[in-house]
Amino acid sequence: MMLEAALVGMGRWGQTLVNSVQGRNGTGLRFVAGATRSPDKARGWAAEKGIDLLPDLDAVLADPRVKAVVLATPHRQHAGQVVAAARAGRHVFVEKPFALSKAEAEAAVAACREAGVVLALGHNRRFLPAIAEMKRLLAEGALGTLMHVEGQISGAGAEGWKPGMWRADPHESPLGGMGAMGIHMIDALINLAGPIEQVSVLSQARVLENGLDDTTAMLCRFRAGPTGLFATLASAPRVWRVGLFGSQGRLEQRDAETLVFHPREGEGWERRFERADIERAELEAFAAAVAGGPAYPLPLEEAVHGVSVFETMIHAAASGGPVRVP
């Protein structure tokens, strides 16, 4: 059964999502309609993909063909759009960050649960084979007691955020690269090490002159006991790195496909995984969940917790001291 969906937000990332599944066999999802703030820019691409351009979200939700919506819109719009879609009986896939406050995230989850629709969040790194292997090795005790976690995700995307662009608005992009990049690593750390209970944050602009921070660093403690370090740089060479440090060994994901294990004693190893189409994987998982298959592999409680951590990081950066995550 094919899930007919609409895309709301046809910028670069919305188009990336569509391109990952449209016209490809076995995905379980097909885009039939969509809406965007700049229809003239997207008209040719939408026609090429067989997507009917509609005026706005209300028109999308009124279209009887549309059984699900995929939201690739500015961050502050997400929660309200999720609630509107749920009340219209549509399943929802929403890009990260899910929301910018825990209260908004909880309201969106409640609306979807009340309507009985599937809600999925676009943290595509959950679909990296190397992350799945790290989680498996942790569960098997290969690292002994997990003592410390480190992560960094960086890139130079913010250099292109010019005045007037929504991403250049500090209210849409608090803590610089957190909304566009860093929230992915926060989700990865939660996925691997569990809930975060306290954070301290330093965030500043070292090179950017567009009003946004470019350097954000966090020290945290996880509820289960380990400490953690995290950084995201919004004007730097691209990096994805995750490290897990245990009493009997350490694991390091050096990029999306490379995983290295160093035991306390004996020989270690390095594995190279095949590149995965993680955008296609997340949309396939969403379609499968709608069809009654396995639940989407990001529990809604963890989705809300990730938002709560982000919100607390903003407070911690402003206060200059450690803040507990509610």
Ordered per-residue pLDDT tens for the chain, 326 residues: 899 999 999 999 999 999 999 999 899 999 999 999 999 999 999 999 999 999 999 999 999 999 999 999 999 999 999 999 999 999 999 999 999 999 999 999 999 999 999 999 999 999 999 999 999 999 999 999 999 999 999 999 999 898 888 888 888 999 999 999 999 999 999 999 999 999 999 999 999 989 999 999 999 999 999 999 999 999 999 999 999 999 999 999 999 999 999 999 999 999 999 999 999 999 999 999 999 999 999 999 999 999 999 999 999 999 999 999 99
pLDDT score at 249:
98
Nearest Cα residue to 251 out of 195, 191, 192, 194: 192
| CA 148 vs CA 218, 229, 252: distances in Å | 13, 8, 12
Q: Which two tokens stand for residue 109?
A: 């989850």
Largest CA distance in the chain: 62
pLDDT score at 1:
81
State the DSSP H helix or E strand holding residue 319, giving kind and residue range, or none if neither: helix 300-319
pLDDT score at 108:
98
- Is residue 98 a contact partner of residue 78, using CB atoms and an 8 Å limit? yes
CATH topology of domain 3-124: Rossmann fold (3.40.50)
CA distance 2 to 31: 10
Beta strands in the chain (DSSP E): 3-8, 29-35, 52-53, 68-71, 91-95, 119-122, 146-154, 196-204, 215-222, 227-233, 239-246, 249-253, 258-263, 269-272, 323-324
pLDDT score at 11:
94
Give residue limits of the domains in the chain: 3-124, 125-274+295-324
Question: pTM of this prediction?
Answer: 0.96
CA distance 286 to 282: 6
Phi then psi for residue 85, to 5 deg, are -65, -45
Counting every residue written for the chain, the total comes to: 326
Q: Which two tokens stand for residue 183?
A: 């929230």
Question: How many helices (H) and strands (E) are present in the chain, helices listed first?
Answer: 9, 15
Phi then psi for residue 173, to 5 deg, are -125, 60
Beta-bridged to residue 229, according to DSSP, are 150, 219
DSSP string, 73-103: --GGGHHHHHHHHHHTT-EEEEESS--SSHH
pLDDT score at 163:
84
- Say yes or no: do domains 3-124 and 125-274+295-324 share a fold: no
pLDDT score at 74:
94
Phi then psi for residue 68, to 5 deg, are -150, 150
Assign domain 125-274+295-324 to its CATH architecture: 2-Layer Sandwich (3.30)
State the DSSP H helix or E strand holding residue 114, giving kind and residue range, or none if neither: helix 102-115
